[in-house]
Amino acid sequence: MRRPHIRGVAVAIAVTTAATGLAGTAFAGPSTGAERSTAAATTNATAVVEAARTAAFAHASATGVSQGDDLHAQDVMLDPEGARHVRFVRTHDGMPVLGGDLIVHLDHKLAFAGVTRAAGHAVKPATTQAKLTADQAAAKAAQAAKGDAGTAQLVVDARDGASALAYQVTVTDEGGSNTVVVDAVTGKVRSNTPDSDEFLSPKLLDSLRKHGETIDPATGSGSAGAAGLLGSGASGATRYPSSAQGTGKTLFVGSVGLTTTATSRGHYQLKDPSRYGTETRDAKGSYTEKFSSGTKFTSTTNVWGNGTTANRASAAADAQYGITKTLDFYKSTFGRKGIANNSKAAQGMVHWGKKVANAFWDPTCNCMLYGDGDGQMFKKPLVVLDVTGHELTHGVVDATAKLEPTHVDRDGNQFGEPGALNESLADIFGSNVEFYAKNAKDTPDYLIGEKLGLAQKFLRRLDHPSLDKLEGTIDYWSPSVYGAEVHAGSGVSSHAYYLLAEGSGKKTINGVNYDSPTYDHSTVKGIGRTKATAIFYRALTRYMVSTTDFHDARIATLKAAKDLYGANSTEYKTVDKAWAAVNVTAANTPAAH
């Protein structure tokens, strides 16, 4: 690995038991990348974890583990072709290690087959004696993030080539929370990063202001149908609660079917029992990060919204539709049961905060939060389908590789390739949610934010990223990409994905015209969206860690293609061609440090 991320991985730190994730043990089919989970696999998974942990210490020169380290399983993946993969987070002398995550790969006989590691160095700090007290560290964190500090926890910061004793502190204010890491010896703030993943970056909002643009997506009613929705409704059921079939009159995708909960005869709640109890609630202008504090949406008609912002349930219908379609995409395509593959509900809160011009995945809430807009530059709630698919994919990344930026500036803009790869994957799978939904009111395409009402007709696009002038998205890799803002840098891997799926040159899909260029003027023939998506998903879940950059992503997708289709396959060769076409090659891989 080259330059590890700087964000405090609070989610990873919380995973400290070897049993974590074992109930959701994943299996991947060789041709589709699909996953299925079985409780019966738990015993087998426990044996795999122990074999992987033993192998990690037996092959310490490769894995980087050492005396004082302990490995805690976060995820276990058992592939039908025989491979086993165990994703670990690490502690050292009982302290969580930031940037210490790794994946141990085993063959079908549980023999060591390799490792993917975030830190390319030993994680043992020079000293384990803190000069700052926990209270002093919390005070410094509060000052840095301008909020209320929680309890400071001693950690080992093994990111960015370092190995230092530090404190990690969560600092909250009414707008959310930040993770602050303070050096326990010098008192220096090592990182200060927002915990939420905002769809619109501060840099983009500033660009919109300079262009005099507003985000004001067109609304309108109409029927989009309810095809593909799960669950059967028995509104006349005599045993409650029960599943019922309702109608969402949304802001952006017309009238859609929604599976809801009949709580009693003639009374309904916007909660889907067929999808683990997935629910959308009303934050009512509060800044709460506790879903339980949101107000339930209830109805006596099982009709939600009226297609306008005047009805508070209209935005909720869009959110619930987008969240359930995203869940359906991941389950139908990969067998993934919920965002964290743990068969738990996905949640959303609309009308969050006061005049909030954004939407984001919040790992503290473990839910989607949607603001109503500021009423000036941002006119409506950002509950568009591909935005929800994009943001919930950040939740999937949080549950797997935990890709993070390498630098965050004082305005909250994030930089660096791992963060850019995170944004790219969110765009890739967000666009796939549209293709899955097949909603006539939101044509499936490789454009992101095409319904936002922008002058350039989209926010980002996968076929030719640099056509986005608002964020200055990048088509091809160069050494300068490492310091690019993450949404701008995301174009590199998004472009590689599009070339893998659809190929280079001109193409019209669902009435949208594409024309994808290549860095080396090569011609790439795509392998199709289904196979390309399977490769990228398998790469994310099996071969990416918190520090994965674009060259690491190339290796990860090549390994995934080899697993699924073979090293001599057209699919494998096309992965290599697609990355070369965006100037990511073995020859120009930056030197490790």
Separation between Cα atoms, residue 83 and residue 288, nearest integer Å: 43
Where are the alpha helices (H) located in 124-198, listed in sequence order? 134-145
Query: Which structure tokens are listed for 44?
Result: 């087998």
DSSP one-letter string for 65-76:
--TTEEEEEEEE
Please identify which residue in the block is written with the tokens 């009374």: 267
Separation between Cα atoms, residue 270 and residue 313, nearest integer Å: 9
Calculated CA dihedral for residues 578, 582, 584, 587, nearest 10 degrees: 90
Is 289 among the catalytic positions?
A: no
Q: Which is the catalytic residue, given 487, 495, 502, 571?
A: 487
Q: Which is the catalytic residue, given 198, 279, 391, 423?
A: 391
C-beta of residue 103 within 8 angstroms of C-beta of residue 84: no
Length of the chain: 593
How far from 363 is each of 383, 399, 521, CA to CA, in Å?
18, 10, 41
Is 391 among the catalytic positions?
A: yes
How far from 381 is each of 54, 195, 223, 366, CA to CA, in Å?
50, 21, 21, 20
Strand partners, 183: 166
Task: Determine whether 42 is exposed, middle or buried from the number of CB atoms within 10 Å of its CB (0-12, 13-18, 19+).
Answer: middle
C-beta of residue 246 within 8 angstroms of C-beta of residue 277: no
Please identify which residue in the block is written with the tokens 């502690």: 91
Q: Read off φ and ψ for residue 314, nearest 5 degrees.
A: -65, -50
| C-alpha 416 chain-centroid distance | 16
Count CB-CB contacts under 10 A for residue 209: 12
Look at residue 161 and give its three-state secondary structure. Answer: coil
State the catalytic residues. 391, 487
